Amino acid sequence: MRVAALLFIGWLAACGSSDSDAPGSAGTGGAAGDAGTTGGTTSTGGSTSTGGASSGGAGNASSGGQAGSSGSDAGVSGSAGTSSDAGADAGPLTVAECLAKQFVNQSSNVSLNYDQFNPVVGSHCQGTNHQNITGVQRVVFLGDSVTVGTPPSNLNPANVYRAILAKKLATHFNLKAPGLGWGGADPFNGVALPKESGDFISCSKWGARTDDLMKDSNQVVDCIPQNKRHLRHLVIMTMGGNDIASITKDGGGANPPKTIPELWQATQGFVQLLRETMEWLKDPNNVPGGVDVVFANNFEFTDGTGDTTACSSASLAGIEPWQDKQAQADMVIWANEQYLKIAVDTQSDMIFMLEGFCGHGYKRNDPSGPCYRGPNQPLWFDLTCIHPNDAGHAAVADMFFKTVAE
């Protein structure tokens, strides 16, 4: 199962955002720090860094490093974002402008500073727009259980986002559509059943982490074998929630299994694995036919509040609160921002799934919450707290399709 609860995402509003490429060291012999991870929202959408550690391994600034400060009003997006009010001469659309008006409580929006990396943002505000995706001959789904589909949503396979999306992509690219049951899953092995149908294939698996893409398992090679690499591929992927959940477990409780520097190393490690996968996919020497990639960042069910008691099933994951909540928030912020940087650096695209789902979780009716969208918002999570329900799957399909089609 995909345990994708970012348990302390609510602290993001207080913790601000990071403007470093990677956590730096606190100095010789010191624990490493995450540069620029404190600060808050600003009214201008700009972000500055006034500090930061210099170099070295992973760790927490509070362990001896000097953390910089930054601010950003890059708020959390809605299911159908709005474009900027700025005129045509104001320059390219920014994430901050694109996502600024989605929530009632503007002053307390959960903020990640994506604009530090200068992404090209889609006019739909659902994701970035770095690729002109045309001529697709084969579609590959990689990742975790969100992509596979889980009960109860996949009891009707047509409700799983990859089934909804595949139907739209088949029409859009004139591909052979998958047959009936494409959104189904093998409950014993946690994989798509059937694996391949029409011009579509899925190598996603329940519980998968980034090391399953090309290191410990080979989702990429399994789905893009040598004899298919002359074709133009589109890769759709949800990945990273289980990595974050594992780190969250290892840092919780009175005597956590891993130290803060070890947890920073794990955080950097899973992000690096995603980067290496993206670089491999985008290298024409590996896939001569070419690959376009659209991947998602990782959602959470507390609507930016950090209140994991809002969904009763969350306690079953066995995750305990951290003693160093700031360190956890810093890691989550850094990882999500680096996802966007990977999209920029590799000229792939990322959908704003974290932002889109915020305000559709189990605290969506809290009027004081940072992601409150107003009354009567639909719930997009199922009873597990960590997977989309039917409405959530439809929303994910919409985010992916709009990002692919523009």
Residues in the chain: 406
Given this model, what pLDDT does residue 38 score?
30
| CATH number of the domain that residue 169 is part of | 3.40.50.1110
Residue 90 CB neighbour total at 10 angstroms: 11
Residues 118 and 46 sit within 8 Å (Cβ to Cβ): no
Tell me whether residue 236 is in a domain: yes
Tell me whether residue 36 is in a domain: no
Given this model, what pLDDT does residue 104 score?
85
DSSP class of residue 24 equals B
DSSP class of residue 388 equals B
Given this model, what pLDDT does residue 92 score?
87
Residues 123 and 83 sit within 8 Å (Cβ to Cβ): yes
* pLDDT tens-digit profile, the chain (406 residues): 333 333 334 333 323 333 444 454 333 333 333 333 333 333 333 333 333 333 333 333 333 333 333 333 333 333 444 444 444 456 788 888 877 778 888 655 556 899 999 999 999 999 999 999 999 999 999 999 999 999 999 999 999 999 999 999 999 999 999 999 999 999 999 999 999 999 999 999 999 999 999 999 999 999 999 999 999 999 999 999 999 989 988 998 889 999 999 999 999 999 999 999 999 999 999 999 999 999 999 999 999 888 888 888 877 766 788 888 889 889 989 999 999 999 999 999 999 999 999 999 999 999 999 889 999 999 999 998 999 999 999 999 999 999 999 9
Tell me whether residue 5 is in a domain: no
What is the reported pTM?
0.80
Tell me whether residue 315 is in a domain: yes
Residues 404 and 294 sit within 8 Å (Cβ to Cβ): yes
Tell me whether residue 94 is in a domain: no
Residue 28 CB neighbour total at 10 angstroms: 6
CA-to-CA dists, residue 402 to 36, 130, 314, 344, angstroms? 32, 13, 31, 18
Q: Count up the domains in the chain and report the number.
A: 1
Given this model, what pLDDT does residue 55 score?
32
Given this model, what pLDDT does residue 89 score?
54
Q: The domain containing residue 364 runs over which residues?
A: 120-405
Given this model, what pLDDT does residue 259 score?
95
Given this model, what pLDDT does residue 111 score?
63
Structure tokens at 23: 């956590």
Residues 74 and 43 sit within 8 Å (Cβ to Cβ): no
CA–CA separation, 21 and 47 (whole Å)? 14
Tell me whether residue 57 is in a domain: no
Given this model, what pLDDT does residue 31 score?
32
DSSP class of residue 119 equals P
| First-to-final CA distance of the chain | 32
Given this model, what pLDDT does residue 403 score?
98
CA–CA separation, 286 and 282 (whole Å)? 8
Tell me whether residue 89 is in a domain: no
Given this model, what pLDDT does residue 292 score?
98
Residues 25 and 125 sit within 8 Å (Cβ to Cβ): no
Given this model, what pLDDT does residue 125 score?
92
